[in-house]
Chains A and B, each alone.
Chain A
């Protein structure tokens, strides 16, 4: 299409090379900067040198501290010149140099002089520069001038002061907040942009005062707003007020205002309003209609930005209100051929979201043409959209699966291929009919796959799913071919997959053994080792017997241990007589704070392994506790909670507690810090009142002998509880100690101390304390292999809840289990949700939970809880946790 336009003149070569900055060098420019010190300043020359300095900075060169200081000092000399243009360049470079506080003082008086100059250009720019480089103390000196500037009749000066105010609000809020009267006045300004800047600042000053923002919006939506930018800002404030007002019934406040903005003359305002309407929470289709209508007009605009804006917004609307968008489908289909590929991709994915079952085939035809000429990143978006479409219309799996397998055969990078493979894997998992054809597509793909990672992942997946199909033998050829033709990593994976077929399908055993025996002669150690291991454990010495369950678990079972923990334990293991004990590896996954995903549930886990947590602190606790003789007979530590604060921040003594759970004991570890330099605490202990925790009996406690200022110390209290019972209760805590005065100058404590007490907050032991968060990589497999023997199912009413998502997270927190496969995220506006949880219960019992939620119009939430575990009693215990609360 468009080549870079260059002059076609004959002397082009010379000209293209020409640049005023050709061969520019920092050292030389810094030398040149000496002209700033000349007694007779040449403004033009100085301007040129500043431009050169700015050019260097702009190209990414940086000055050392010394160089910057030197330049800064000589630049300050230029304030002597009266030349307007030069002064302007001086302002610019001072901002770029961002001088340090002690340097700022040097220019302060010059800038303050400019701030009060008669020339508006000086005033506006001096304000911007000074506010950029100033600190709090200086600000109080110039505050008076800034307040005047805000209401200055020159709009440039007023805007400069207001914009500076917005920046300063971040660092010196208490000062800027004092300007609100002036800012309020500026909101009424007749100058369009002053109004915009004043509105921005005023809202930020008052953002924590909902009532004030609401009043502001009310008055402005009735008045006149002069600039489109200010109008956009007002729309955003209005949406915020609507969001926070939360009225359940009747007409939505300010909706009429938003709707009227759809008829504004500026496109940016129309779009802002349309977008705001589509984003209203719980928007009705009646409210949506006018917004969709203007967006539909934008779809056929000649301006790409408008088409993009419209299709991007409709794409989001399609997630929640697909029906509302279907009116635009014809316009959207014509956008598939849009020159701008971003627009075309958004159009396609929107169509995929709104399409109905009958239109799928036609749509796929159009997409096939489109796929050949877009970049990988767009293709990935399309593949993901097709995957969700297929899950929505399982009957259409045939044509969609065909599409996926076709594009799998075409050229493409790793990320793209991975997206396709992940999609096929998910379809195989969720649509049983699609399994056989999907597996064959994957088999064909590995015949000619250049990515080792994908080959090994697919082989692993084949090993799980292949043996369960009606005719497992047909996959063997594809797998064994890999042993011949691939690199060592893929060969090793193939050997494992073959062995899995052998272990699961007895009829195939003899043939598999023949193939495995050939692998013993492989050139790679790992491949040979694996083949040998499998032959020996599966009984490859001739006899065809059913493979023992233990062997299957040994070879192919889940380790149930976070790999990070295993890695740490193995690193810590020192070679000795004692063999490494895999049971000694802590199973606790350190819970990560749930990062709010941009699109909840958008990326279901494909082949990927479960997320590995950071190394846990369990090791450290275990070492600490086992070093204390009183606790040595408690057995193996099951779980340690994260610290719970028992004091407010910044009190005299900071105490938090960690709950350590053993089979028959619970140990509270109180971490104390004395924050008073004039005190030394001795004999510090915590007196625990367990009268509200009947099942617990205090057995021992261990005080801290001495707790000097700012040195953490730990005191312990241990309780006995009935074996295996998940006893719960509330404990009140009192810190007791002997306090001694310390002379801060010498650091010596007085002889005599006084006994004192300090009330701490209560502490609770809850059911979740007996549960460890341990995830599984494939919940469905784990669920099925657990079996129905000890399944316990029951239904519960949770009463009215704030939202479905809130109910889901409340139950997850109550049980303290690990959500699997991203099912903790609830799609907005959905009426039902299934959540999968996994964990290990006290006594090292695996537990899997499947929760099904439904919400009714009155926000009543009902829940079906199905538990599977290795122990019947544990299933009952889980139900008890839910039913007791």
Chain B
């Protein structure tokens, strides 16, 4: 019996439900068509909700989906219906915060595409074949950035500083 906590997919969609980055770790959605249909269903089901301050959660097709929105980006993590949703939420929070650090607070679609390599490496550092590798945003971002040619600037500031800027930026954008 499979007892180890398992992540079925990690998705990053834009505000229209289009895929920015997606990684599937199981065979529940074998074709790209099936994946896109799932993404569409998830997006439609969640788009009207307010998942900006806290991680939100819902059930879809016998799966648990936790999600959070930042600016025009929608973050999702999916697990099986027997999965502990608090664990999934921890994975999601790690993903969101790590992306915040890597994009230096500018969490929006344009930046995400500009630094897509960082996003993909970030997902690669969070989950390996469904098994959770790491959930601490600082560690994740550290692993990704330490060997990135693109994010040289990041090494100049410490990660806690970067996290602080990210929070500040977030707060400002919410006040707008």
Contact = CB atoms under 8 A, between A and B. Distances in A.
A5 B71 contact: yes
Contact of A268 (B21, B90, B113, B173): B90
Interface in B28-61: 32, 35-36, 47-50, 52, 54-59
A6 B72 contact: yes
Contacts of B62: 598
A15 B110 contact: yes
A86 B149 CA distance: 8
Contact of B49 (A2, A62, A271, A308): A2
B71 A340 contact: no
A197 B131 contact: yes
A92 B124 contact: yes
Given A5-B15, A240-B1, A271-B84, A47 B57 contact: no
Interface string B148-165: 111000000000000000
Nearest to A203: B3
A809 B138 CA distance: 55
A47 B150 contact: yes
Contacts of B63: none
Given A44-B149, A59-B19, A88-B147, A339 B49 contact: yes
| Interface range for B | 35 or more
B54 to A, nearest CB: 6
Interface residues of A, number: 70
Contact of A54 (B71, B90, B120): B120
Given A2-B50, A19-B110, A207-B1, A232 B84 contact: yes
B173 A5 contact: yes
Secondary structure class of chain B's binding surface, majority of residues:
mixed
Given A240-B3, A268-B87, A272-B84, A159 B22 contact: no
A583 B55 CA distance: 63
B121 to A, nearest CB: 6
A282 interface: no
Nearest to B90: A268
B58 A342 contact: yes
A272 B57 CA distance: 17
B90 A342 contact: no
B114 A20 contact: yes
A167 interface: yes
A6 B90 CA distance: 27
A237 interface: yes
Contacts of A92: 120-121, 124
A306 B50 CA distance: 16
Interface stretch (A297-305, A401-409, A606-614, A712-720): A297-305
A23 interface: no
Contacts of B66: 305
A196 B132 CA distance: 10
Contacts of A21: 113, 116
B98 to A, nearest CB: 15
Contacts of B84: 232, 268, 271-272, 275, 309
A308 B85 contact: yes
A587 B166 CA distance: 70
A506 interface: no
Given A5-B173, A193-B134, A303 B55 contact: yes
B110 A87 contact: no
A877 to B, nearest CB: 43
B133 A121 contact: no
A492 to B, nearest CB: 37
A163 interface: yes
A530 interface: no
Interface in A69-87: 83-87
B3 A84 contact: no
A146 to B, nearest CB: 15
Interface string A425-453: 00000000000000000000000000000
B86 interface: yes
A156 interface: yes
A128 B124 CA distance: 10
B108 to A, nearest CB: 8
A18 B110 contact: yes
A89 B173 CA distance: 33
Nearest to A309: B85
B72 A5 contact: yes
Nearest to B81: A598
A84 B149 CA distance: 8
Interface string A42-61: 01100100110011001110
Given A87-B147, A268-B84, 15 more contacts: A2-B49, A2-B50, A19-B113, A54-B120, A58-B21, A60-B19, A84-B146, A85-B147, A88-B121, A121-B143, A167-B128, A303-B54, A305-B54, A308-B85, A309-B85
Q: Which 7 A-B pairs have the closest CB atoms?
A: A4-B15, A60-B32, A84-B147, A85-B149, A268-B86, A305-B89, A51-B117
